[in-house]
Chains A and B, each alone.
Chain A
């Protein structure tokens, strides 16, 4: 069996988003676009096998999808006003001019991430319509039954049509806000995949790949937005460590214990390049700052040569944008590396009230206490962390730390 993707699979990856984006504009309906494009691919998988792939697969698929759309409109008699446009486009065998295609893709991605939708719906819609994942694939990635995801998507589509959510390029005055919403969706997709990727869990790991792909798409669509490039850098640089952050049993490996020679150098250089592009653009936002912290780690050969002072400064800039106790905890940990664990402990002391439900406060404190040689208190702190933590692998890891202390 050949490992090379079939022409249909290849076309799916390269053409799906453009086809859906174009058909959404031409038909005015997300559902109609989805059905027509899916049917076009179904036809391609039969026809291309017998007749061979056409010379221009994208154009073939676009014309076929437009024909399917007309057939569907004729059958259920809605959107009949769209037939002349579709017929004319088929007649002209019209490709999409680059600029129109970019606008259509931005309209699609902005519509899926519309602020009138809840985060769950935004994420599901983006994966289905922009990335082209099937409902089953999305369900598996989110560890929910297919039926649940199907209902979630149906509810989201109902909201779109009944609330009047438009699929149009956002107005210039709103573009920043809307791009921020799109970035939040992409980052949510990434975190969903990254947070619980244990060892060989490729299904959830694929969400990281989708997030990388989405962020690169968005960089092309709004090249002038600093945060978009910052997000791309952040995701790439974080993901470069994906395979070194858990051991064979799925237990987390701390940054200081990771095998840095296994960090993905290709992703690191792409991520640093994205950060560089971000730095050329006006505006400093959280993604660029978080990306630059990831970049400082990525460039360091060891934990001891990591520029902790600079990292603590970047945390300071993040805190200046949005002061949260979790950011203060991270800054304190960074400072503990350069100024010593005693300083770290002193800095986090005042955060306990606000972070009394946050397991990583207690695991961070345990590690600092242990470094100060206060192992009994460290053990107590791990126990508090274990009581609050819901992630199995992390709980097992904390038990292991506890066992080492006792």
Chain B
């Protein structure tokens, strides 16, 4: 089964860029991605730039409404995602437990909808 592994975190809790903590975490991310790939479970994935760079677009009554910032203002924001192909939710949970931010953020597992 395919799952989107959505990575949420509160940027205030993440290590800052340029610090040794961030370097260590980046090494963990590269390792995690390499492990997924080596296991043949990795279908894709990207990290996202911070929510300050987001633009939200809606059309209401035929009018385009564009706004600065993310759709939902929450402390924990979507910071990146993976797309994985694993046996079942138990295996997805095992991978989720290895995501570097799982100790301070949240990992949401969303099965990919299959259309026949």
Contacts and interface: CB of A to CB of B under 8 A. Distances in A.
B89 interface: yes
B111 A163 contact: yes
B70 to A, nearest CB: 26
A116 B89 CA distance: 8
B92 interface: yes
Contact of B89 (A165, A170, A171, A174): A165
Interface string B91-116: 01100000000000000010101000
B90 A166 contact: yes
Interface residues on A, range: 10 to 19
Nearest to A174: B90
Interface in A157-187: 162-166, 168, 170-171, 174
A165 B88 contact: yes
Interface string A110-151: 000010100000000000000000000000000000000000
Q: Is the interface of B mostly helix, strand, loop or mixed?
A: mixed
Interface in A201-258: none
B106 to A, nearest CB: 14
B1 interface: yes
Interface string B70-97: 0000000000000000011110110000
Nearest to A115: B93
Contacts of A165: 88-89
Contacts of B87: 164, 166
Nearest to B110: A163
Contacts of B1: 164
B88 A162 contact: no
A172 to B, nearest CB: 13
A166 B109 CA distance: 15
B89 to A, nearest CB: 5
A27 to B, nearest CB: 16
The residue in A114, A162, A165, A170 that gathers the most chain B C-beta atoms within 10 A of its C-beta is A162
Interface in A18-50: none
A166 B88 contact: yes
The residue in B87, B88, B90 that gathers the most chain A C-beta atoms within 10 A of its C-beta is B90
Contact of B92 (A164, A168, A171, A174): A164
Contacts of A166: 87-90
A346 to B, nearest CB: 41
B32 to A, nearest CB: 20
B111 A162 contact: yes
Contacts of A168: 90
Nearest to A171: B90
Contacts of B90: 166, 168, 170-171, 174
Interface of B: 1, 3, 87-90, 92-93, 109, 111, 113
Interface of A: 114, 116, 162-166, 168, 170-171, 174
6 contacts: A163-B89, A163-B111, A164-B1, A164-B3, A165-B88, A166-B89
